[in-house]
Amino acid sequence: MIVADRKPLQEILEYIKDYKKIMLMGCGGCVTVCFSGGAKAVELLASQIKMARKEQGNDIEIIECTPTRQCEYEFLEELKKDVESVEAVLSIACGVGVQAMAVHFPEMHTVPGLNTKFMGYPVEHALWEEKCAGCGDCVLEWTGGLCPISRCAKKLLNGPCGGSADGVCEVNKDNECVWQLIYDRLKKLGKLENLNQVRKPKDWRTSTNAGQRRIKFEEAML
């Protein structure tokens, strides 16, 4: 899932300072699961904004909504009437949702209320960790299902580096060294030989090097 985090309230207030009536749009997808952009987050942020603006003596009207997914035009289309009744949309979907919104309603000023962080999952209650950087050429087959591209601070394909100690990454003590984990896991699987060969340089063309990437699913074409 995509994991995102609320922007500071001050920053959000600055974005919408010129507007008297906005829509605050959440998303029922990933950001609902990670608490940052679901219906509850919409409700909470709306009341925080209203309170702050009231204190400034500059009331604001907010229409709250949380479509099933903000990143699909058909869900946005259902909100058309409400969208057209406001001066701006504050979106607390991930960056993908914000862009879908901005493109679908080109006349509308849409601003982000979240910082989109990464693709990951909750490793325990209310703690998410990054697990994939979308590099476009997955290596998990030979790494025991653990990703060195998103989880190693140096994206090593031939790790671990010389700073791996006691299972901890030298760059960030909160993180386990993923290369230690890969080693341990392959040992358990009886596949340590996966680490005997020097792995060739990665072809970064599959990654974010040439701007937007596209996927066309031919079989589903109408």
Partner 1 sequence: MKSGSKLEKVLTAGKFAITAELGPPQNANPEAIKKKAQHCLGVAEAVNITDNQTAIVRMSSIAAAAIAVSCGLEPVAQMVCRDRNRIAMQSDLLGAAALGIKNILCLSGDHQSFGNHPEAKNVYCLDSMQLISMVKQMRDEKTFISGDPIKEYEPKFFIGAVANPFADPFEFRVVRLAKKIQAGADFIQTQCIFDLDKFEKWMELVVKEGLHKKVYIMAGITPIRSSRALKYMKTEVAGMSIPDELIERMDAAEDPKEEGVNIACEMIERIKKIEGVSGLHLMPIGWESITPVILERTGLLPRPEVD
Binding site for partner 1 (CB under 8 A): 153-168, 170-172, 177, 180, 183-184, 195-201, 204
Strand, coil or helix: 49:
helix
Least spacing, CB of residue 178 vs partner 1, in Å: 13
18 binds, among partner 1, ligand SF4, none (CB under 5 to 8 A by kind): none
69 binds, among partner 1, ligand SF4, none (CB under 5 to 8 A by kind): none
Residue written as token pair 């607390």: 92
CA–CA dist 12, 84 (Å, integer): 21
Q: Which residues bind ligand SF4 (CB under 6 A)?
A: 132-135, 138-140, 147, 149-150, 152-154, 156, 159-161, 163-164, 169-171, 177-179
* Upper half-sphere CA count for residue 124 (Cβ side, 13 Å): 0
Least spacing, CB of residue 45 vs ligand SF4, in Å: 31
Residue 118: other Cβ atoms inside 10 A: 17
Least spacing, CB of residue 19 vs ligand SF4, in Å: 39
Report the residue number, 32 or 180, with the smaller CB distance to partner 1.
180
150 binds, among partner 1, ligand SF4, none (CB under 5 to 8 A by kind): ligand SF4
CA–CA dist 47, 41 (Å, integer): 10
Judge residue 9's burial from the number of C-beta atoms within 10 Å of its C-beta, 0-12 exposed, 13-18 middle, 19 or more buried. middle
166 binds, among ligand SF4, partner 1, none (CB under 5 to 8 A by kind): partner 1
Least spacing, CB of residue 170 vs partner 1, in Å: 4
User: Which of 178, 95, 114 minimizes the C-alpha distance to 140?
Assistant: 178
Report the residue number, 145 or 163, with the smaller CB distance to partner 1.
163
CA–CA dist 192, 183 (Å, integer): 7
